[in-house]
């Protein structure tokens, strides 16, 4: 059944009881995760409250801000269907080669001034060349020497030895999303495989870095695909899960899709929290345009957001992000 046509039903599950089970260390089942996605609007506040009890146990009311840097834009030769920087996308995004070390360090200074816990340098590419890797590593060394901020890099698929080089330079985390379930992935990308992505995440772990690995909701996948992704991330042991919501970009193969409803987006965040109770869950790309007036409610299941926009689209702005967090009674922290 298509996710947009999912029938809402009374699941018969008491969300508070399920959260209590999770807090006792009992993992939720795929059936329970499906029930979360298929629960009705009348149960939504109760579901959010239950997800919050799990989030609060592990993260209190703290929020981690992540700031992205599009370090190399618009020139990718891969064909991910959602991506405005992909080969064949007619999206008009900026196209430039890898920024200089000084530009990357300057970006980190700005992120630090915005109280970001992490600064994430991202390149639109299948994977980094040796020269690109050295530029990023040099930027990381200089950032680490100058300021107290965690570094994430997102550079595509890694070759043997590249994860180790990044770890040695001081990278704390490497981002590489699975994007969707293994079943649905071939509908989204044909130039590399889901298994390629899993291998890169494993190489990140073997090199001693944390992984940031999530996906995108709203690409035409089913509820089963969403649940399968959440469990795949659990099984991989990723530290951080960005839950992105497709903001359909004109000029991409998915540009015609309707946006996920705000309430379905919240149910997804809750499902990821229940399946991955101790992990950082981020209300990531598409937050503003998909959640709209319900944005602050995302802070109940999620403990992290990107601030100051995304790779090729703007957000609502850093000041409004801070105001939203404060007005909802949460607290930005670097701890």
Report whether 54 contacts 19 (CB < 8 A).
yes
Based on its alpha-carbon atoms, the radius of gyration of the chain, rounded to whole angstroms, reads 19
Q: Which of residues 75-94 bind ligand SF4 (CB under 6 A)?
A: 76, 78, 80, 83, 85-86
Q: Which of residues 160-199 bind ligand SF4 (CB under 6 A)?
A: none
* CA neighbor of 149 nearest in space, from 176, 122, 171: 171
Please report whether residue 68 would count as binding ligand SF4 according to CB under 6 A: no
The CA-based diameter of the chain, rounded to the nearest angstrom, is: 57
Report, in Å, the least distance between residue 90 CB and ligand SF4.
Answer: 14
Q: Which is nearer to ligand SF4, 21 or 196 (CB)?
A: 196
Stretch that binds ligand SF4, among 23-31, 33-41, 72-80, 136-144 (CB under 6 A): 72-80
Q: What sign results for the dihedral spanned by CA atoms 306, 280, 125, 251? A: negative
Rounded-to-integer distance, Cα 32 and Cα 42, Å: 18
Q: Which is nearer to ligand SF4, 154 or 303 (CB)?
A: 154
Report, in Å, the least distance between residue 177 CB and ligand SF4.
Answer: 8
Q: CA torsion, points 332, 216, 230, 23, in degrees to nearest 10?
A: 20
Q: CA torsion, points 205, 226, 252, 80, in degrees to nearest 10?
A: 30
Q: Which is nearer to ligand SF4, 76 or 275 (CB)?
A: 76
- Structure-block tokens of residue 154: 């997102």
Report, in Å, the least distance between residue 298 CB and ligand SF4.
Answer: 23
Report, in Å, the least distance between residue 64 CB and ligand SF4.
Answer: 23
Please report whether residue 156 would count as binding ligand SF4 according to CB under 6 A: yes
Please report whether residue 216 would count as binding ligand SF4 according to CB under 6 A: no
Total residues contacting ligand SF4 by CB under 6 A comes to 8
Please report whether residue 71 would count as binding ligand SF4 according to CB under 6 A: no
Q: If 0-12 CB within 10 Å is exposed, 13-18 middle and 19+ buried, where does residue 200 land?
A: buried
Non-local (6+) Cβ contacts of 69 within 8 A are 99, 104, 107, 108, 111, 119, 120, 121, 122
Report, in Å, the least distance between residue 80 CB and ligand SF4.
Answer: 3
Q: Which is nearer to ligand SF4, 83 or 149 (CB)?
A: 83
Q: Which is nearer to ligand SF4, 156 or 215 (CB)?
A: 156
Please report whether residue 246 would count as binding ligand SF4 according to CB under 6 A: no
Q: Which is nearer to ligand SF4, 157 or 236 (CB)?
A: 157
Stretch that binds ligand SF4, among 73-81, 225-233, 275-283, 289-297 (CB under 6 A): 73-81
Catalytic residues, by residue number, are: 76, 80, 83, 120, 152, 212, 282
Q: Which of residues 113-132 bind ligand SF4 (CB under 6 A)?
A: 124
Q: Which is nearer to ligand SF4, 222 or 312 (CB)?
A: 312
Non-local (6+) Cβ contacts of 296 within 8 A are 324, 327, 328
Rounded-to-integer distance, Cα 117 and Cα 320, Å: 18
Please report whether residue 152 would count as binding ligand SF4 according to CB under 6 A: no
Report, in Å, the least distance between residue 123 CB and ligand SF4.
Answer: 8
Report, in Å, the least distance between residue 205 CB and ligand SF4.
Answer: 20
How far lies 255's CA from each of 82, 83, 113, 138, 152, in Å? 8, 10, 35, 37, 28
Report whether 178 contacts 197 (CB < 8 A).
yes
- Structure-block tokens of residue 27: 């993992």
Residues engaged in binding ligand SF4 (CB under 6 A) = 76, 78, 80, 83, 85-86, 124, 156
């Amino acid at each position: 059944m298509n996710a947009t046509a999912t029938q809402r039903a009374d699941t018969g599950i008491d969300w508070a009881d399920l959260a209590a089970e999770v807090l006792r260390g009992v993992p939720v089942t795929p059936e329970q995760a499906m029930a979360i996605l298929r629960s009705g609007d009348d149960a939504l506040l109760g579901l959010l409250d239950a997800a919050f009890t799990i989030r609060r146990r592990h993260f209190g009311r703290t929020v981690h801000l992540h700031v992205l840097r599009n370090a190399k834009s618009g020139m990718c030769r891969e064909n991910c269907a959602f991506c405005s920087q992909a080969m064949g996308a007619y999206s008009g995004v900026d196209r430039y080669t890898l920024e200089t070390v000084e530009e990357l360090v300057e970006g980190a200074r700005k992120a630090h001034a915005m109280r970001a816990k992490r600064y994430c340098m991202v390149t639109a590419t299948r994977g980094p060349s040796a020269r690109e890797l050295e530029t990023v590593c040099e930027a990381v060394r200089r950032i680490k020497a100058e300021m107290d901020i965690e570094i994430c890099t997102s550079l595509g698929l890694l070759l043997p030895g590249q994860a180790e080089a990044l770890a040695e330079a001081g990278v704390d985390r490497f981002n590489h999303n699975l994007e969707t379930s293994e079943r649905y992935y071939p509908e989204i990308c044909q130039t590399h495989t889901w298994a390629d992505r899993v291998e890169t995440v494993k190489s990140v772990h073997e090199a001693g870095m944390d992984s940031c690995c999530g996906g995108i909701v709203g690409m035409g996948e089913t509820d089963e695909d969403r649940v399968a992704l959440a469990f795949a991330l659990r099984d991989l042991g990723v530290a951080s899960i960005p839950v992105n919501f497709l903001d359909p970009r004109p000029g991409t193969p998915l540009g015609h899709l309707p946006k996920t409803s705000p309430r379905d987006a919240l149910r997804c965040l809750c499902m990821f929290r229940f399946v991955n109770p101790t992990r950082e869950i981020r209300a990531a790309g598409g937050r503003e345009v998909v959640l709209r007036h319900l944005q602050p409610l995302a802070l109940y299941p999620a403990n992290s957001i990107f601030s100051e926009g995304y790779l090729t689209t703007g957000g609502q702005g850093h000041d409004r992000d801070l105001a939203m967090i404060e007005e909802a009674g949460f607290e930005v922290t670097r701890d």
